[in-house]
Amino acid sequence: MSERELRSIFRDGVEAIALVARSSWRRLLTAWVYVPIGIMIVLFACFGVDSLIRLSSVSFPASVACMIILFFVLIALEPAVGERRVRTLVQYIDIPGGFALRYINVLFTPSFILIPLGSPITGTEIAKVIGVFVIGYFAMFALTAYLVRLLQLILGTSKRALTERAEEIGPNETNDPGSPSADPSTPSLASSAQPLLPPTPPPEPAPPARTQDPSLITGTGGPPEASTSPSNAIPANPTTLHPFATQSAPPLTRAQRWAAQLNARLDATCHGLLFICVGLPVYYGGPAYAMPAQLCVNVLAYHAALRLPARWRRVAHPVPVAAGVTLLAVWALAASRGEGFLDGLRAYRTRAGYVQMLRGELGAPNTPRPGAGDVLGSVLDVSIVALALPMWQYRKELTRHYGTILVPSLALSVGSLLLYPPLCAWLGISPPRALSFASRSLTLALGMPATANLDGDLSLVAVLCIASGILGVLLGNQLLGWLRIREDDYITRGVAMGVNSSAMGTARLLEVDPRAAAFSCLSMSVFGTAVVVGTSIPPMAGVVRGWAGAE
């Protein structure tokens, strides 16, 4: 390669970086400055609530308490200061909250990564766990669907729902007031309500009269979208979008092509640079601190998992795929320093979260520093608080059909708490694993604290929650068809998927039926909160533990 070619490559590379800097500096500022500041504010609020809770004898997750408080505060503020000001407040809260919800999948991966640290389980017990899970899932799914249908007939909400559906798909295609598209002032909440699958990419903008600017390529707004690639980010033939154009746009220069590719992978590029420039030097340097390297690897593995084709992700969900890749990376990093695999996993999570940090416990001698799993677990608390935002967004649906959401969600939460643990104990499943089944249908954000309150197996509940979501994505529509639930019955579909498949089922509904997804999100939140509240009450938790044979 001649010196002239090298200079040309260097010049185009610098120009590409300059283009990305000019087009993405606001997004980078939000992602790396505003979001961390917002996350810290939310964690300080959770710490304050946790300190107040500790003054009492009640054990309750501070993040869930903050979620409930935030939801009712937003409801109370609306008549006091007006909806417009409340929406402005929600937009500010959505900066860290929307980020946490968009990245909620990667926050689930520590539960899978730490499975090797769990207690060993026999083959017989594995078979029993699988049997209870499969039969229980199908039975609970059918019970939820028929209970919602019965309530609609009793309360007369079925006809109202059909009327609303007819209006929604009418010739004018008017949007419901509670839908994300009805109010342009809150576009970010629509993407925040899609925690498990990448949001549907917006329509590609028409190219201007001159060469397309790489700023049109999205970046730093969340995990990479599976369909995002340089080949489809920029139209191959821009004139096809302008059938009446008399002159075709000039082709992109090499620097602009590089800028578009870099902008499309901006998040992964930033984490890759952090891994090389910060993670590896700190890991192999004097401090020998594993968190920066392991955290970057974990996030990069999730980015890679999202790049799988959509048909593969139906089976190979990004959470277990990213967890598997991270496990291999943790093993490789530990082996490179002469350490064992389990040593690397223990460094991944040291149980030194933000609560311990703010209490000043990390300054004590021989106290471990936070690991990558502790960092992700702290951000998971922010995502729990942020669940109040989609709940507030669909508050009108909650008010209009509260009976068909609250009654099944609350009834099934009580049934899940009181039936699963004794049934599992009767079948010979060990008490910690039997207690984990009480949180089988919850999203991990709520299932983990609920299981911790019962002293259940946190490794098993992670598998149960993710498997419930995957079953909903793969078989939910077929199950509803077998149960003869109409495709336009979005209330039944939403509640059934939300209660039984939590966030993954909700994300699937967001692709095919956004209104059903609203009910799924609300029922998921009510169901999960009810289980967490039940496990946080000492007498109730004691009864459940006793029935499972733990006391």
CB 503 within 8 A of CB 422: no
Q: Output the pLDDT for position 202.
A: 44
Short-list 393, 335, 401, 345, CA closest to 373: 345
Q: Output the pLDDT for position 90.
A: 93
pLDDT per residue as tens digits for the range 59-99: 677 888 898 899 899 999 999 999 899 999 999 999 999 89
Residue type, 442: L
Enumerate residue ranges in the chain where pLDDT < 70: 1, 57-59, 157-249, 314, 361-366, 551
Q: Which two tokens stand for residue 282?
A: 């700190």
Q: Give me the helix-helix angle, 318-336 and 341-348, nearest 10°.
A: 120
User: What pTM was estimated for this model as a whole?
Assistant: 0.76
* Secondary structure (H, E, C), 241-286: HCCCCCCCCCCCCHHHHHHHHHHHCHHHHHHHHHHHHHHHHHHHCC
Q: Output the pLDDT for position 366.
A: 66
Q: Output the pLDDT for position 58.
A: 67
Q: Output the pLDDT for position 312.
A: 82
pLDDT per residue as tens digits for the range 303-323: 999 888 877 876 777 888 999
Q: Which two tokens stand for residue 246?
A: 């008399």
